[in-house]
Every structure is written in C-alpha cells, then in structure tokens.
Chains A and B, each alone.
Chain A
Amino acid sequence: MNAINTIPVTVLTGYLGSGKTTLLNRILTEDHGKRYAVIVNEFGDVGIDNDLVVDADEEVFEMNNGCICCTVRGDLIRIIDSLLKRRNRFDAILVETTGLADPAPVAQTFFVDEDVRSKTTLDAIVTVVDARHLLGEIEKAHEAQEQLAFADIILINKIDLVSEQELAKVEARIRRINPTAVLSRSERCQVPLDQVIGRNAFDLDRVLELEPDFLEHFHDHEHDDHVTSFSLTSNEPLLPERFFPWIQSVAQHFGIDMLRMKGIIAFEADDDRYVMQGVHMLLEGNHQRPWKPEEARLTRIVFIGRDLPRDIIENGFRKCIAGEEGRLG
C-alpha cells in the first residue's frame, strides 16, 4: 500500500504531560541523519527555531455535515501544501497533536485528500503515555483511550517512576484497549529513535511481511472500557461475495465508533492472503502474498472501537463463511 517517493509522516499523540514534546525535541535535536519538517501545536514548547517548524491551529474541515468519518484537518492540508513546495529541504514530516486532540481527523487527512495522499505516506501513529499517571487518568479521559486505540506504536514513558509490577498493570491496561500496537518503554523518552520513527508501522502489509504472526498474539478481554477490542476468526474460508457487502455494511453502521480495524482474510478459491485495514468508514484491502503451504489459512479480524456490538458484528461475520447458511446480517 506504499507509494514510492512519498514523504513519510509520523503522527505524535499523547495525553497531557505524557512527554510527547520531550520526544519531539529529541527528534529535532539529535543527529540521526534525517531532516524533519514539524507541525506543532505550540511553538513555544519546541526548543528549536527553524522555518520548517510550523504552528498548527487545528482547523477542522467537515466535508459532510459533521460526520466524523468525513472530517479532516484543514490546517494540515494547508501546511503540507506549503511544505511540499520545499520538499528538497526535509526527508520526513512529524505532526504533533495537542494532548486532547482527536486522532481520527489527523489520520484521515492522509487518506482522503488526493494531493496529500499521493505525496505522503502515514508512517505511524505514535502515542506517548505517562506510566505513572495512565491508570489514574484513563477511566475519566476518553481522549486518552482513543489516542491509545489509534496508535501503531505506544511509548510507555516515565518508567523510572513506577515499579515493575505497576508497569505490568499499565501494559495490560493498554493491551485491553489496543492489542496490536507495538509497545516500547522509556525514561524521559530515551528510546532509540528508530523504534518510533521510520518504522512504516501503519502499513499492515509491511508489518505482516516483517512479522507474519502479527495479529495472532491476541486475546479477547471482557471489560467496561469506553474503547474495547475483539477479534473474529475462522478456520474456514470466507466467500468474497458475502464478505465485502458485510464489511462495508459494518463500516456504514458502526464506522463512527470503529476506530481501527485490521485483518487477514482467507477467501475461498483464492491462493493469496488478503490484508485489510480501516479507520472509521475508510476501508482499504488488497492481496498480499500467496499462502505458504505449511501456513494455516486462518482468517482473523481485530476491531478496536467504542462500544461496538460484538454479537451483531460476529453474527454477520459467521454468515460470510463458506458453507454457512443464512442471509447477510
């Protein structure tokens, strides 16, 4: 799903006080051989004066009557348009969001605007969390849960302020919300930068090339969170003529609450793995590579969202399985 010669974009999120700006300043000041253009929400917090550091004003562009799935960030489109006129001066773009920002319009900007989409590639959504305060904040702060839900990479920061036992609880709590993100630990954001930037972690195709079992280390959790996750699996192949109308119907009915979705599909009479992912109503999928002879042709889809009705979604999914009787849900 990656285009050649596009500019990689890393989106940096994190709840208030997580250490996000510390990480940003490290990326800007350390000698790692890459030049970044940076879109920040507060000029004053960034310890560098550079005309490639640009202030964002969180201008929301609602293209369709407030539907979150059709909402992008107008300021990002304006800024990226301007930056791309100087594209020989930087190698990648970093977007820092405010502590309370909704990551969805930021992510969607890189998929729906034709010009931005064709010239940039979303490298990863990186979320920084404060290991000491996460458990206390997360029940009350829906923004914090959603920033975790959207993340491809989660940097658990300030680990020096908690015990190993507390850290295990923090990681378990994060996993309940986002079972697929890569977790890293740090003190004062001192993590090797190649663990958070240039990872191509948004691209599920690429992730599965490096880690074929990526979606398999997943266990369902029963809990009362605002944001929840669950997976659906099948050892039997799916019928494309049932599957595509069903998954599009899921996006239609539950897209507003479906934050991320990732899946590997085994279709009947199809020798290739089909890989798909979604952000709200935006769905994208393609054949990846042939199934290996020794590989189990297992379908697995992971949904991360707000109060998604698992029973309804699962019921529809079962009807897509070859040999299953019934009409589309």
Chain B
Amino acid sequence: MKSFVNPLAPRTNRLQVKSTEIRAWVRHLVDLPEDTPVSVVELACRDEGCPDIETVIGIMEANKPIRTIRVHMALAEVTRNAIAEAVHGDSRPRLDSAR
C-alpha cells in the first residue's frame, strides 16, 4: 500500500515532449540554426534567495559562451509567451551570457 504522494519520484518522459517544444520556441524566438544545442533544465534550487522553481534554458552556440534564459515557472508550465517575454521583454533582463 502506498498511501502518500512521492515527492522524490523520478521525472517521467512527459517532460521530454514539453522540453522539445520549448527548444523549438527558443530556436524560433532567438533565430537559432536547427543544430544549435539548447539545454532545458527545471531547477528547484533550495538556496535562500533563489526562486522555488524555475526553468533555465541554455543556448549553446558554437564557439560562444552559453547564453541563458530564465523563466520563473515549472518546466511543464512554460509558455511561448513567457519565453518571448524573457527574451524580448522591455527590461530584457534575462538573456545573459553565463559565466
């Protein structure tokens, strides 16, 4: 009998479909070639001061530092508009070169 929700359950590949979708949105919004690797990561960093959950997208163009897009929502909830806002929003705060 399993009478509790398992918070440590391995993630399912359901998120793979979503991350493929996110990569396609990013490629379109940032105008990337199809062969540029785009890394999609859901982070639940428990450090103080960090958001509870966020999706970090790494753009890995050849011979360039990794650029990151941060969307402060779970991977499953990321929308094309949220990425567009992070990339092209007025303040343009979240498209930075990673160190």
Contact = CB atoms under 8 A, between A and B. Distances in A.
B13 A248 contact: no
Nearest to B8: A285
B45 interface: yes
A20 B23 CA distance: 36
Contacts, number: 107
Given A255-B46, A270-B3, A271-B1, A63 B41 contact: yes
Interface string A266-301: 010111100010000101111100000000000000
Interface string A231-253: 00000000011001001100110
B2 A270 contact: yes
A312 interface: no
Contacts of B60: 74, 77-78, 81
A240 B16 CA distance: 29
B75 A251 contact: no
B62 to A, nearest CB: 8
Interface in B43-98: 43, 45-47, 50, 56, 58, 60, 66, 68, 75, 98
Find the residue from B41, B47, B56, B75 having the highest chain A CB count within 10 A.
B41
B interface, by DSSP: helix, strand, loop or mixed?
A: loop
Given A77-B58, A276-B8, A114 B40 contact: yes
Contact of A64 (B8, B19, B45, B66): B45
Given A63-B58, A77-B60, A114 B6 contact: no
B24 interface: no
B56 A64 contact: yes
Interface residues on B, range: 20 to 34
B1 A270 contact: yes
A269 B2 CA distance: 8
Contacts of B10: 1, 284, 286
Contacts of B40: 113-115
Given A244-B7, A286-B8, 5 more contacts: A63-B58, A64-B50, A70-B45, A74-B66, A270-B2
22 contacts: A3-B13, A61-B39, A61-B66, A62-B99, A63-B41, A63-B43, A78-B37, A112-B42, A113-B40, A115-B19, A118-B19, A240-B3, A244-B7, A251-B46, A255-B46, A276-B8, A284-B8, A285-B6, A285-B8, A285-B9, A286-B9, A287-B2
